[in-house]
């Protein structure tokens, strides 16, 4: 119980008539890789928006390290240790790559110099060292994805929400990203990955999986049990994807 | 009785506001450009009508089609020659188009001032009034109201039933979708800006019958149009009409109860309050 | 620098006035640049704070007979203090809504002051006779230099980086632990302090103030054009743009008073198309 990092408890939210999340519950533990899988429109991004404070659910609760974070402004949630990336990358286009990352580092220092020093390390770590002083708008899509991760890391999160970081990467890059996600656990960071496809990787890296479909959790468990779950196969994985497993 | 009279005044005024705001709304809907030069076109058209009436005896009804045509050409030219030339990579195009129309507004107001001078003008046309059970209905206001409704209906029909109108609506609703369907966005934008400006000019021709105007009052009509669109809800044409009636009523009541000088602030206050409290307006779907 | 310090003692009145006006505009452009350039909230109504500073200063002088600089300091602080609640409310608006909301705020305050007899209403607020241009000059010089120093600090500080981040994407900045509400209100307050202090000097310079001058949208337009010419969100843009544009503006005013507004609006439009990023970024690109 004590190593429950994030508890999402019966969260419901609707946009007009579309119920994007319908009583979703899940628990993420420290150092765990938790995969949230589900087809496009299942509600993964919406759940990330709820957890990071951009959306307020109409019912349910979100607890982080034991505190209810419902209604906290996003910056307070970020400071408490939840960082996220955006599925549709959103770099600060006019700022340099280094400054993009330094913004996150400002959570711990009021010195821009110090923030840039910390940012430099992270930028090197994600392999953007050579682009550090370029404007973020000049990056390629892959580089932007890395920038998303770098910015989030600068917050030194306890929990990292990765929204479709695999999408658009080449197979080699995906493998590298998978290694990276596994490494997070070793550093004591919990990770939640929202993933639409690439099941091969999901099965390899996750400790636990929740399957979302049309806003509902339809299955939860370790990779083995998910692969075996008939409902999942029927509702989501389908024949073509089963081949990929 | 006074209240009924004020309601009548407000509604009559609201009709013309609605027409002007429809033009503003088309431009915003298609281009996401808040056209700060809108009211200046209204006022300049009114000035031209007043001069033509004085010099040639042409009444605003005759000038209405001329105003529409002239407004269209002016608007299309502004889009082709200016707005379209804004560099795409300007960090925030919204800010740069806003600033451009801000400059354009001063250009037109200043031009109007240089051409027509600062004095107030109007068209003394149909100056009588009907008396309906003690309520006075000025003939010019009634005519302007009726014509505004006719034009608004014509505009709605154009948007609904013609191919070009369809392209305009598609582009306002979903830019990428329209692009994917092969809509020539650039032409649609020129058309919309022309159309929006033509509507502003038509509103100006009608205004000239009911208002005493000078070239520096454009900004008030811009704010009126903006306020109407915000009240009604951005992108909603029915909201536009509703918002205009609300603003017309607000105008009539504040002028009567607190005086014309304080009433000048009414659209601003209404605009600020509505955008703060009801960001999607009365009938709008999109939020700001 | 030395030239600016000895100027009031060496030059004739015309040039001292010209430098004074330049300093006022440079200061206004720097003030605008903080909220609109760094934080990305385009405002068409920062002149509100100039007018408030001027009126507050006039009141303090008339009511308490304090030395004018003390009164102007109080006026600046008052404008700045007013910016906190105002910013808390208005900064919920975005893009054109904020820009026009601030425009509406300036107009509303102007209308209110015109309606209040205590402020001298439309006739204006008069100070006891006898003003001292040299002291106003030094005050304004100090404020302008202070504004530049403040901007240099912002540009190098963590605060400035947070403002730039929220300008680019407010939501993302929030999820990166930037307290966007606090930071943008702080930027807004700093952006109000500078015009507030300048307004205090302005009323003492003229020895009286009237609503149309204190809340002049032309002043606003000019300072915005200056910042755009120099480069929005840059340290030296407002200085370069301000100095250049004041000279152009004064020359236009002297030569073509009747076309002044029109030419100025046209200049803004041309600038946005031909030099959209302003002088400083254009130079930077060239030498990179
Ligand atoms: N801001 C929004 N307004 C209206 N509907 C939304 C909004 N965000 C998401 N939705 C809807 O909620 C559902 C879930 O979307 P999303 O969370 O993006 O799914 P996923 O990330 O799993 O692909 C979809 O039907 C989507 O259309
Ligand atoms: Mg998604």
CB C230 within 8 A of CB C111: no
Task: Determine the average pLDDT of the residues in A15-26.
Answer: 90
Residue A12, φ and ψ in degrees, nearest 5: -130, 135
Number of neighbours of residue A14 by Cβ within 10 angstroms: 15
Which residues on chain C are in Cβ contact (under 8 Å) with A52? Answer: 175
Residue C6 has what pLDDT?
Answer: 74
Question: How many CA atoms are closer than 13 Å to the CA of A100, on its beta-carbon side?
Answer: 36
The per-residue DSSP string of C190-201 comes to HHHHHHHHHHHH
Helix (H, G, I), strand (E, B) or coil at A29: strand
Which residues on chain B are in Cβ contact (under 8 Å) with C104? Answer: 223, 267-269, 271-272
Contact C100 B271 (CB under 8 A): yes
- State the Cα angle at C109 between C104 and C115, rounded to 5°: 125
Tell me which residues of chain C have a C-beta less than 8 Å from any C-beta of chain B: 40, 42, 44, 89-90, 92-97, 99-101, 103-105, 107-108, 111-112, 114-115, 217, 221, 224-225, 228, 258-269, 271-273, 276-277
Mean pLDDT of all residues belonging to chain C: 90
Which residues on chain C are in Cβ contact (under 8 Å) with A90? Answer: 169, 171-172
What gap in Å lies between CA B115 and CA B44, rounded to an integer? 10
Q: Which pLDDT tens digit goes with each residue over B222-249?
A: 888 888 888 887 777 888 888 888 888 8
How far is the CA of B167 from the CAs of A117, B28, B171, in angstroms? 52, 15, 6
Residues with CB under 6 A from ligand 1: A 15, 18, 20, 38, 40-46
Distance of CA B257 to the CA centre of its chain: 26
Residue B178, φ and ψ in degrees, nearest 5: -65, -40
Of C156, C165, C175, the CB nearest to A74: C175
Is B281 exposed, middle or buried, given 0-12, 13-18 or 19+ CB atoms closer than 10 A?
A: buried
Q: Which of these, C52, C63, C62, C198, lies nearest to C113 by C-alpha position?
A: C52
CB B171 within 8 A of CB B185: yes
Task: Determine the average pLDDT of the residues in B100-117.
Answer: 90
Task: Determine the average pLDDT of the residues in B132-149.
Answer: 84
What gap in Å lies between CA C27 and CA A21, rounded to an integer? 51
What gap in Å lies between CA B226 and CA B38, rounded to an integer? 9
A45, containing H or E segment: helix A44-51
CA distance C9 to chain B (A): 38
Residue A191, φ and ψ in degrees, nearest 5: -130, 135
Relative to beta strand A208-213, strand A216-221 is antiparallel
**Minimal-distance CA residue to ligand 1 atom 5:** A15
Predicted confidence band at A233 (pLDDT cuts at 50, 70, 90)? Answer: low
Task: Determine the average pLDDT of the residues in C211-231.
Answer: 87
Q: Which of these, C154, C218, C211, lies nearest to C21 by C-alpha position?
A: C218
Contact B105 C276 (CB under 8 A): no
The per-residue DSSP string of C25-76 comes to HHHHHHHHIIIIIIS----S-THHHHHHHHHHHHHHHHHH---HHHHHHHHH
Predicted confidence band at B285 (pLDDT cuts at 50, 70, 90)? Answer: low
What gap in Å lies between CA B40 and CA B20, rounded to an integer? 11
What gap in Å lies between CA C182 and CA C170, rounded to an integer? 12
Strand positions, DSSP E, A66-148: 67-68, 82-84
Q: Which pLDDT tens digit goes with each residue over C50-84?
A: 999 999 999 998 888 889 899 999 999 999 999 99
What gap in Å lies between CA A60 and CA A25, rounded to an integer? 9
Of B103, B265, B275, the CB nearest to C265: B103
Contact C258 B100 (CB under 8 A): no
ipTM of the complex model: 0.89
CB B197 within 8 A of CB B40: no
């Amino acid at each position: 119980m004590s190593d429950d990092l994030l508890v999402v408890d019966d969260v419901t939210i609707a946009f007009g008539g579309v119920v994007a999340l319908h009583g979703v519950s899940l628990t993420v533990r420290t150092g765990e890789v938790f995969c949230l899988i589900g087809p496009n429109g299942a509600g993964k991004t919406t759940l990330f928006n709820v957890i990071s404070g951009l959306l307020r659910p109409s019912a349910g609760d979100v607890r982080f390290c034991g505190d209810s974070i419902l209604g906290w402004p996003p910056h307070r949630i970020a400071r408490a240790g939840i960082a996220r990336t955006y599925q549709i990358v959103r770099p600060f286009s006019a700022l340099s790559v280094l400054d993009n990352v330094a913004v996150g580092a400002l959570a711990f220092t009021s010195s821009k110099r110090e923030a840039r020093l910390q940012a430099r390390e992270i930028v090197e770590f994600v392999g953007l060292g050579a682009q550090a002083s370029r404007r973020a708008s000049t990056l390629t899509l892959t580089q932007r994805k890395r920038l998303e991760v770098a910015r989030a890391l600068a917050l030194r999160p306890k929990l990292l929400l990765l929204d479709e970081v695999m999408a658009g990467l080449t197979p080699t890059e995906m493998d590298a990203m998978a290694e990276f996600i596994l490494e997070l656990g070793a550093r004591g960071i919990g990770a939640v990955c929202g993933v639409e496809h690439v099941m091969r990787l999901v099965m390899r890296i996750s400790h636990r999986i929740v399957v979302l479909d049309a806003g509902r959790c339809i299955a939860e468990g370790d990779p083995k049990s998910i692969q075996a779950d008939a409902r999942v196969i029927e509702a989501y994985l389908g024949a073509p994807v089963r081949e990929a497993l | 009785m006074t209240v009924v009279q004020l309601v009548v005044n407000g509604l009559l005024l609201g009709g013309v506001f609605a027409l002007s705001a429809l033009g503003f709304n088309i431009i915003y809907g298609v281009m996401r450009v808040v056209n700060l030069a809108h009211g200046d076109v209204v006022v300049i058209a009114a000035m031209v009508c007043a001069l033509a009436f004085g010099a040639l005896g042409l009444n605003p009804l005759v000038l209405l089609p001329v105003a529409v045509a002239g407004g269209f050409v002016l608007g299309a030219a502004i889009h082709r020659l200016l707005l379209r030339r804004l560099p795409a990579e300007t960090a925030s195009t919204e800010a740069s188009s806003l600033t451009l129309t801000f400059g354009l507004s001063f250009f037109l107001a200043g031009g109007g001032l240089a051409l027509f001078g600062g004095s107030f003008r109007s068209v003394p046309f149909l100056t009588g009034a009907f008396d309906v059970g003690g309520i006075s209905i000025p003939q010019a206001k009634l005519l302007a109201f009726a014509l505004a409704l006719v034009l608004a209906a014509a505009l709605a029909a154009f948007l609904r039933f013609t191919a070009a109108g369809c392209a305009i609506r598609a582009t306002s609703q979903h830019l990428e979708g329209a692009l994917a369907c092969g809509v020539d966005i650039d032409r649609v934008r020129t058309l919309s800006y022309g159309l929006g400006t033509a509507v502003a000019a038509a509103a100006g021709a009608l205004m000239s019958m009911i208002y005493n105007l000078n070239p520096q009052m454009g900004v008030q009509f811009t704010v009126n149009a903006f306020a109407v669109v915000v009240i009604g809800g951005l992108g909603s044409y029915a909201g536009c009409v509703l918002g205009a009636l609300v603003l017309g009523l607000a105008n009539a009541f504040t002028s009567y109860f607190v005086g014309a000088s304080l009433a000048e602030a009414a659209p601003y206050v209404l605009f600020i309050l509505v955008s703060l409290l009801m960001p999607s307006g009365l009938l709008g779907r999109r939020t700001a | 620098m030395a030239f600016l310090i000895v100027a009031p003692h060496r030059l004739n009145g015309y040039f001292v006035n010209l430098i004074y006006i330049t300093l006022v505009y440079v200061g206004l452009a720097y003030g605008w640049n903080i909220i609109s350039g760094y934080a990305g909230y385009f405002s068409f109504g920062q002149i509100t704070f100039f007018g408030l500073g001027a009126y507050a200063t006039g009141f303090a002088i008339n009511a308490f007979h304090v030395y004018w600089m003390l009164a102007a300091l109080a006026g600046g602080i008052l404008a700045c203090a007013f910016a906190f609640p105002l910013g808390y409310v208005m900064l919920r608006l975005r893009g054109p809504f904020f820009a026009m909301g601030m425009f509406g705020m300036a107009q509303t305050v102007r209308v209110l002051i015109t309606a209040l007899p205590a402020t001298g209403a439309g006739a204006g607020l008069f100070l006891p006779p006898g003003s001292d241009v040299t002291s106003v000059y030094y005050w304004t010089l100090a404020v302008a230099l202070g504004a530049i120093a403040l901007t240099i600090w912002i540009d190098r500080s963590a605060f400035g980086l947070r403002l730039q981040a929220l300008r680019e994407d407010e939501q993302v900045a929030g999820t990166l632990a930037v307290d966007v509400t606090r930071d943008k209100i702080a930027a807004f307050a700093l952006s109000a302090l500078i015009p507030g202090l300048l307004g205090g000097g302005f009323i003492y310079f003229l020895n009286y103030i009237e609503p149309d001058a204190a809340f002049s949208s032309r002043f606003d337009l000019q300072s915005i054009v200056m910042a755009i010419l120099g480069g929005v969100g840059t340290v030296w843009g407002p200085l370069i743009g301000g100095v250049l544009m004041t000279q152009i503006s004064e020359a236009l005013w002297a030569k073509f008073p009747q076309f002044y507004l029109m030419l100025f609006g046209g200049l803004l439009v041309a600038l946005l198309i031909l030099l959209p990023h302003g002088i400083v970024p254009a130079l930077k690109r060239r030498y990179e």
